[in-house]
């Protein structure tokens, strides 16, 4: 059987609402024309209470694909609470974005109630094509602390005689080692032939209990992370050959660039950013003529006038607004003047002067060179000599300098 795996469409995602809709349509329509069945591991919608026009976008597409000629059909549904209202082999679970506190009802479940797909939350759905059986156990997205408890309670088991898929929507520690709360691969239920996970927005193929774990990634750009630069799309998995094929859709081009500076004046930062934008524009193309999304991460140190860099970059973003969707991150850019002076004050070795006097003198001299008056020096000195984290102190110091500029 050929199973399409499409995930995280995020209908109603505000930043790129039209992309979310058109790219979901392309993925769902193409996937339905290529596969016998389709599984969707969560986050069809971006919000738990989508606006009616967003619900309409999804309902229109799912109505269309539910009328396709599918190679397989649903032959059994086992669950303590849910029900299947169609035999159309489009099987989905709610993701973390759709989860509601009020019982089972959520926007994904509405598509199930309308008979446009089968909501497989905490259910085993079996589909058939000829003699072949595929069973999908679904576990909707849960907060991390509930996953283990839920898995222990449900104890999902493979169905004898079927090709068994465990479909879920969680972060996995081995793939995203950011929190100890994330479940480990070994905690996934054993005995399934294939594991399919949503939630993670870039595509990945890993291994769980010696079997494939497939993450198709989202169909729309959301997090602007470096690993979202690949084309978006979906997988077609062949249960007989145990192989998967990635099918790219026409997703909007995204380019993420990291630029490092060492004591650069604002004009240099602006100039290099502008060249980078022009290069990104000339190297990217979109069939639908949409401007690419370009993210510039600016790191390192700027010469005096950090505020001036921000102003120039804002102007740059405005100039290119019609050609590119720009996201500029300057949070990793530092001003060396502040950092150096701070080291002098906090770690300086005293000669005939006390550390405080020495620091103060160096500091006032340096600030004067940079065009700040003596009053700023004493105020800034007070901020820099206070107890607290380096980050917090630097922020306060920057704020003061911006006010006095």
Residue number with the shortest CB distance to Mn ion? Answer: 43
DSSP 8-class letter at 303: -
Nearest one of 174, 192, 194 to 184, comparing CA atoms: 174
Find the shortest distance in angstroms from Cβ 97 to Mn ion.
6
DSSP code string of 49-113: S--HHHHHHHHHHHHHHHTS--S-EEEEEEESS--------EEE---TTT--SSTT--HHHHHHH
User: For residues 94 and 305, which CB has a smaller minimum distance to Mn ion in the complex?
Assistant: 94
Find the shortest distance in angstroms from Cβ 88 to Mn ion.
23
Q: Which stretch binds Mn ion (CB under 5 A): 5-13, 71-79, 275-283, 370-378?
A: 5-13
- What's the rounded Cα separation, in Å, for the pair 107 and 295? 32
Find the shortest distance in angstroms from Cβ 43 to Mn ion.
4
Judged by CB under 5 A, the chain residues 234 through 273 that form the site for Mn ion are none
Torsion of CA 33, 36, 41, 42, to 10 degrees: 50
User: For residues 13 and 166, which CB has a smaller minimum distance to Mn ion in the complex?
Assistant: 13
Find the shortest distance in angstroms from Cβ 70 to Mn ion.
25
Find the shortest distance in angstroms from Cβ 8 to Mn ion.
4
Parallel/antiparallel/unpaired status of strands 118-119 and 90-92: parallel
Answer whether 194's CB lies under 8 Å from 166's CB. yes
Binding mask 15-44 for Mn ion (x = CB under 5 A): ----------------------------x-
User: For residues 216 and 305, which CB has a smaller minimum distance to Mn ion in the complex?
Assistant: 216
Could you tell me the strand order of the sheet in which 90-92 lies?
A: 118-119, 90-92, 37-40, 2-5, 233-238, 243-248
Judged by CB under 5 A, the chain residues 42 through 61 that form the site for Mn ion are 43
The tokens describing 107, both together, are 């926007």
The tokens describing 305, both together, are 């006038």
User: For residues 8 and 337, which CB has a smaller minimum distance to Mn ion in the complex?
Assistant: 8
Find the shortest distance in angstroms from Cβ 179 to Mn ion.
17
The tokens describing 34, both together, are 């290529």
Q: Which stretch binds Mn ion (CB under 5 A): 1-9, 22-30, 121-129, 391-399?
A: 1-9
> What are residue 19's DSSP bridge partners?
none
User: Is residue 228 involved in binding Mn ion (CB under 5 A)?
Assistant: no
The tokens describing 179, both together, are 């929190």
Helix axes 266-283, 306-319, angle to 10 degrees: 30
User: For residues 200 and 344, which CB has a smaller minimum distance to Mn ion in the complex?
Assistant: 200
Q: Count the site residues for Mn ion by CB under 5 A.
A: 2
Torsion angles phi and psi, residue 223, rounded to 5: -90, -10
User: For residues 62 and 163, which CB has a smaller minimum distance to Mn ion in the complex?
Assistant: 62
The tokens describing 50, both together, are 């989508």
User: For residues 26 and 43, which CB has a smaller minimum distance to Mn ion in the complex?
Assistant: 43
User: For residues 5 and 326, which CB has a smaller minimum distance to Mn ion in the complex?
Assistant: 5
Q: Which of 4, 8, 117, 364 binds Mn ion (CB under 5 A)?
A: 8
Q: Which stretch binds Mn ion (CB under 5 A): 7-15, 65-73, 267-275, 358-366?
A: 7-15
Positions touching Mn ion (CB under 5 A) are 8, 43
């Amino acid at each position: 059987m050929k199973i399409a795996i499409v995930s995280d469409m995020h209908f109603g995602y505000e930043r790129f609402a039209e992309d979310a809709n058109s790219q979901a349509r392309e993925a769902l329509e193409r996937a339905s024309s290529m596969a016998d069945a389709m599984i969707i591991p969560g986050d069809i919608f971006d919000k738990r209470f989508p606006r009616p026009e967003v619900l309409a976008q999804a309902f229109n597409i799912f109505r269309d694909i539910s009328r396709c000629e599918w190679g397989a059909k649903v032959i059994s549904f086992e669950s303590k609470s849910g029900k299947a209202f169609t035999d159309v082999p489009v099987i989905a679970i709610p993701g973390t974005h759709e989860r509601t506190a009020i019982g089972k009802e959520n926007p994904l479940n509405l598509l199930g109630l309308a008979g446009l797909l089968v909501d497989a939350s905490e259910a085993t759905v079996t589909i058939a094509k000829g003699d072949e059986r595929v069973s999908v156990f679904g576990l909707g997205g849960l907060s991390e602390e509930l996953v283990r408890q839920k898995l222990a309670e449900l104890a999902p088991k493979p169905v004898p005689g079927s090709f068994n898929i465990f479909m879920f929507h969680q972060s996995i520690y081995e793939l995203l080692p950011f929190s100890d709360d994330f479940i480990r691969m070994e905690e996934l239920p054993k005995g399934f032939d294939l594991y399919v996970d949503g939630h993670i927005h870039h595509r990945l193929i890993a291994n769980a209990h010696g079997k494939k774990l497939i993450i198709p990634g989202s169909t729309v750009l959301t997090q602007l992370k470096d690993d979202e630069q690949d084309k978006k799309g979906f997988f077609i998995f062949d249960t007989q050959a145990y192989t998967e094929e990635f099918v790219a859709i026409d997703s909007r081009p995204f380019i993420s660039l990291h630029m490092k500076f060492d004591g650069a004046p604002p004009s240099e930062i602006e100039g290099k950013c502008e060249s980078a934008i022009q290069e990104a524009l000339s190297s990217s193309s979109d069939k639908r003529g949409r401007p690419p999304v370009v993210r510039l991460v600016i790191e390192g140190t700027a010469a005096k006038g950090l505020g001036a860099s921000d102003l120039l970059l804002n102007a740059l973003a405005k100039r290119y607004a019609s050609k590119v969707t720009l996201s500029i991150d300057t949070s990793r850019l530092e001003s060396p003047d502040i950092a150096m002076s701070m080291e002098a004050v906090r770690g300086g070795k005293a000669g005939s002067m006390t550390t405080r006097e020495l620091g103060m003198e160096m500091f006032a001299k340096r600030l004067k060179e940079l065009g700040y008056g003596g009053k700023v020096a004493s105020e800034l000195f007070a901020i820099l000599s206070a107890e607290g984290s380096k980050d917090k102190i630097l922020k306060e110091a920057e704020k003061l300098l911006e006010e006095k500029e």
